[in-house]
Structure 1
Amino acid sequence: MDSADSIAPLPVFRYHPDPIGTGSIAPSDKECRCCGRSRGYIYTLAPYAEEDIEEESICPWCIADGSAHRKFGAEFIDSEGIPDEVPEHVVEELVERTPGYAAWQAEEWRACCNDAAAFLGESRDAGPGRTTYVFECLHCRRRLLHVDFP
């Protein structure tokens, strides 16, 4: 790993503010398939793309700046799970430049105040046999949930 790369701060994702805490991004010495660099962190999931792109092969910087989307057509969130009320430019930011999250079924993004909400992670008290994913409105701070079953 290049020492200059290792000290670079992680990109900020408006709609996924703590991707390390949620497990979508993890420390790694793996080389990014998009930029060819080992920068200390890697996206832990496989993006949606025509080409088969394995888990743990794209760095967060190539997600944030749209390089992975431009190079591979990679999408990190299924647009079908984004509510219709979300403006198109926000849908593009979510799909092309925001790390997704691992769900039992397809992820569903929550929205409030005519904007996408920020993904905060899994609830610790979801109950047996289900997982609850927590989102927060960036405007009114209302908590929104997505309950998922295996």
Structure 2
Amino acid sequence: MTYDELVEEFDFLGDWEDQCDLLIDMGFELPKFPDECRTEENRVHGCQSNVWLIAQPVQGNSLKLDIRADSDAMIVRGLIAVLLTLYSGRTPQEVLDIDIREKFARLGLDQHLSSARRNGLNGMVQRVRGLARKCLAETAESGDE
């Protein structure tokens, strides 16, 4: 599902309870996260529940990020699915250019999530952005573009 399709679906559903159910369903569709990646190094700090996140560069016509994540909480898995919709398969610079607050506001996530969930979501966003910056720096150092 694209971000625009997600916005349409959220608009169609209207109320938060139905939107929350959709998020949970999206979480069930996440690709399997490798057990060996459930390490402290990959854990996102600041989240109320356990969240693990990795990003690997994939070389094609341009360098893109393959982002994978998982959580032990159903609603958080849904929020991860939203993040993957926005970030995965993009170049590191595209990741950094996304106005994530505007995207979340358009979905109404800023209104419906508890402060603890918002903090956790922000932690995931900061982790992805940090990995994108690291990838850009490594690319610049190696002279690849």
TM-score > 0.5, shorter chain as reference: no
TM-score, normalised with respect to structure 2: 0.28
Which structure ranks higher in relative contact order (CA pairs < 8 Å, sequence separation ≥ 6)? 2
TM-score, normalised with respect to structure 1: 0.27
Richer in strand (by share): 1
Richer in helix (by share): 2
